[in-house]
Amino acid sequence: MENFQFYSPTEFLFGKDTELQCGAMIKKYGGTKVLIHYGSGSVVRSGLLARVEQSLKETHLPYVSLGGVEPNPKDTKVYEGIELCRKENVDFILSVGGGSCIDSSKAISIGVPYDGDFWDFYAKKTSITTALPIGTILTIAAAGSEGSGSSVVTKEEGKLKRDAGSDLIRPKFSILNPMLTCTLPAYQTGCGATDIMAHVFERYFTNTAEVEITDRLCEAILLTMIKETPRVIADPDNYEARANIMWAGTVAHNDIVGVGRSQDWNSHGIEHELSGLYDCAHGAGLAVVMPAWMEFVLDHNVMRFAQMATRVFGISMDFEHPKATARKGIQAFRRFLSSIGMPINFAELGAKEEDIPLLVEKHGLGDGRTGGFVALSADDVAQILTLAAKATAN
Amino acid sequence: MENFQFYSPTEFLFGKDTELQCGAMIKKYGGTKVLIHYGSGSVVRSGLLARVEQSLKETHLPYVSLGGVEPNPKDTKVYEGIELCRKENVDFILSVGGGSCIDSSKAISIGVPYDGDFWDFYAKKTSITTALPIGTILTIAAAGSEGSGSSVVTKEEGKLKRDAGSDLIRPKFSILNPMLTCTLPAYQTGCGATDIMAHVFERYFTNTAEVEITDRLCEAILLTMIKETPRVIADPDNYEARANIMWAGTVAHNDIVGVGRSQDWNSHGIEHELSGLYDCAHGAGLAVVMPAWMEFVLDHNVMRFAQMATRVFGISMDFEHPKATARKGIQAFRRFLSSIGMPINFAELGAKEEDIPLLVEKHGLGDGRTGGFVALSADDVAQILTLAAKATAN
């Protein structure tokens, strides 16, 4: 096990009606003027925004609102938020939505007190030293941004999707009410579940030996997702299954299952080019990329994939042919994704095989290699995308 | 799943040589005058105390020291610590030791700013509203106190073992260097491992339905302990196994595996009377009590015990006779405890069957019942202790 720091100071309130406590929580963490930042109209139509506003009024907290955050949140909305916060002397951001909304809020929170262009943090030109405090009310179990210190934003010009991170942008509190996720369409639910599983797999495939505790914790989340996701696809109002998925999504990404081990993140990196180019859902892109990545890197550590196959997908170990077991695990993952309505190849995603050179170029490896479980060259990425383009569930 | 709050703001530094950062961490969390609180002479003999003092000197932090905390920490040492902190204007407590030392530090931290007798918090006469900040350097993986908001102290007069809890006594930081645990005798290592597993089982046996995510996370820790504990008993210097156990011990008790579900804690409650009366190690007492408790409550939910047997102890499910499977699981747990050197009956613990009426009386249920997985009467406790008294590994 490698040395590590683990710090997850976010206070989580979980369960029915917990959003009604948002005003009290903002006061607890020192907010006096609030930006309510949200995404789609569903937050308005469902009555959630009205309940949030009511809670702020009851706790005498003045606020301004900014909606319209899109999936794969854009820099343009961030600039709008920064300007509004400065003009209105906002000192607390309440993010009401999913990962895109939270990531946009995080970008605003570091942009407001910064003299330069907030994109500097995402272009890695400077590092985060201060941020406005933020709180979240989560409406989709997926990104894990409610418990993480990272943010991903897309620059419209050039469609560059980049990340920034710091403990300073971890939410002060996150409110998780599984009821709020019951109205999600099946496709978005499936995309969220895929993202959660991907966050675990990015940590699971490690070159660090002897990390049984985090291996087992990773498997715990994956087993839960395999049990609960089909239940919510079949029965969207199943509160218990929604609740299990929602907490799994947070634990999957606050790094408690990833500490002390090298991690991968190449599937996320490659996927970012897909959603950057086609504006597809991040989870859908991951469903296409991740099993292909697994096939490509399988030989690097066959026994680790065999462990996944047996412990996570319940496949009997073939002791004479571990690689056959490993392959069955990867294919079981792909079949699972297909069963929950996810695309598993380019055609189903709406991507084009002829775009692969462009996708590789945007990924920007040049003559270099990425880090991770297996360090990938541009040619490797092209091969992974080619595998992804043609994949089938059988 | 039940509604819950989860809050674990402690910053963890994990790995080799991390204790050298203690001075910097105390400064980070605002300390200017430190009490170094420690237990046995091994902290001195191993050179750990000298390294800690060196770190404080290098960061120009003045300190006073108070050693001599005993296992099952006593109120008398707490009074001594409170007096010393007040006299020396201490504003930060650094706890160097195991759970007993940390619990004693927590008691001092709430006693210093309190006008009355600190025992009021443990006698539940008042609740915690303020505390000095504390940090820890952990020397044994066991109690989980390094990541918890609870403390257990024994009042010498009457040998009353009682607990107090609040988010305010969660450590600001905890330093976990598995190397520091390599010199522990096998018996203490086994006691610590038993305590860790007990913390999980107290959460695992729940009356809350549909809590797959926390079930699976509980099982992840138990599976890790079953793999790693025999390795450190056989090879005390196995850093990797020590590291897995140490992180498992923290995750087992910061409640991330217990949120959203009713919990039990009756085995801990009953055990406190054993270690209160005989001054035996807490883990050793748990090894005697917990399997007996399992046998006594088995009929309350046979399928939950069958789940434990199959998922944790790898026993094949007997679908015609689930109870037989469940019983095999309990007996496998007892055999495991015996294999790592734990006592599994009164004779091996040094307890006396004729003391059972006294133990029951001290437990103080009177005509009432406890809460938990099964609400227990005084007679139930007597029956559990009788089962515990006579247990065998076969």
Which of A150, A180, A210 finishes a domain?
A: A180
Looking at residue A366, its pLDDT comes to 94
**Are residues B5 and A12, on separate chains, in Cβ contact within 8 Å?**
yes
What's the DSSP call for residue A74?
A: B
Cα dist from A90 to A30, A169, A176, B94, B240, whole Å: 12, 16, 24, 38, 48
The verdict on B314 and B375 lying in the same domain is yes
Residue B248 with chain A: CB contacts under 8 Å? 213
Output the pLDDT for position B197: 98
Q: Last residue of some domain: A180, A201, A226?
A: A180
CA dist list (Å): A194 to A173, A199, A284, B46, B198: 25, 9, 7, 49, 34
DSSP percent split of chain B into helix, strand, coil, nearest 5: 55, 10, 35
Mind listing the pLDDT tens digit for each residue in B199-256? 999 999 999 999 999 999 999 999 999 999 999 999 999 999 999 999 999 999 999 9
Chain B CB contacts of A14 under 8 Å are 1, 3-6, 259-260
Cβ contacts of B147 on chain A, cutoff 8 Å: none
Q: How close is the nearest chain B Cα to the Cα of A98, in Å?
A: 20
Q: Which of A216, A218, A239, A256 to mutate to test the interface with B (most CBs of B within 10 A)?
A: A216
Phi-psi region of A265 (alpha: psi -120 to 50; beta: other; left: phi over 0): left
Distance, first Cα to last Cα, chain A: 37
CA-closest candidate to residue A335, choices A316, A315, A311? A315
The number of domains in chain A is 2
Residue B291, pLDDT > 90, answer yes
Q: What is the value of ipTM here, to two decimals?
A: 0.96
Please name the residue that has the structure tokens 């008790």: B253
Nearest C-alpha of chain A: how many angstroms from B239? 9
What residue in B sits closest to A245 (Cα-Cα)?
A: B213
Enumerate chain B positions whose Cβ falls within 8 A of a Cβ in A. 1-9, 11-16, 18, 178, 209-214, 216-217, 219-221, 223-224, 227-228, 240-241, 243-244, 247-248, 251, 256, 259-260
CB contact under 8 A, A247 and B1: yes
In a domain, A6, yes or no: no
Residue A158's pLDDT is: 84
Residues of A in contact with B259 (CB under 8 A): 14, 247
pLDDT at position A202: 98
Cross-strand bridge partners of residue B92: B34
The torsion defined by the Cα of A28, A31, A33 and A39, in degrees rounded to 10, comes to -90
Subunit contact B4:A15, Cβ cutoff 8 A = yes
Averages of pLDDT over runs of 10 residues in chain A (394 residues) are 97 98 98 95 93 97 97 95 98 97 98 98 97 98 94 90 93 98 96 98 98 98 98 97 98 95 96 91 97 98 98 98 98 98 98 98 94 96 98 90
- Asked if B51 and B110 count as a contact pair (C-beta separation under 8 A), the reply is no
φ, ψ of residue B101 to 5 degrees: the values are -65, -40
Render the burial of B164-194: b for 16+ CB within 10 Å, e for the rest: bbbebbbbbbbbbbbbbbeebeebbbbbbbb
CATH at B48: 3.40.50.1970
Q: Residue B16 corresponds to which tokens in the numbers above?
A: 């080799």
My answer on whether B139 and B194 are in the same domain is no
Last residue in a domain, options B164, B180, B196: B180
Number of neighbours of residue B113 by Cβ within 10 angstroms = 14
| Encoded tokens for B363 | 């437990």
pLDDT at position B317 is: 98
Task: Based on the fold, state whether residues B190 and B319 are members of the same structural domain.
Answer: yes
Going from the C-alpha of A163 to that of each of A166, A268, A269, B318, B357, the distances in angstroms are 11, 11, 10, 50, 64
Indicate if A55 and A145 belong to the same structural domain.
yes
Q: Are A4 and B14 contacting, i.e. CB atoms less than 8 angstroms apart?
A: yes
Cβ–Cβ below 8 Å for B220 and A213: yes
Amino acid at A165: G
Shared domain for A175 and A258, answered yes or no, is no
Q: How far is B319 from chain A (nearest CA, A)?
A: 18
| Per-residue pLDDT at B276 | 85
Same domain, B211 and B133: no
Q: Which of B1, B13, B244 sits opposite A1 (nearest CB)?
A: B244
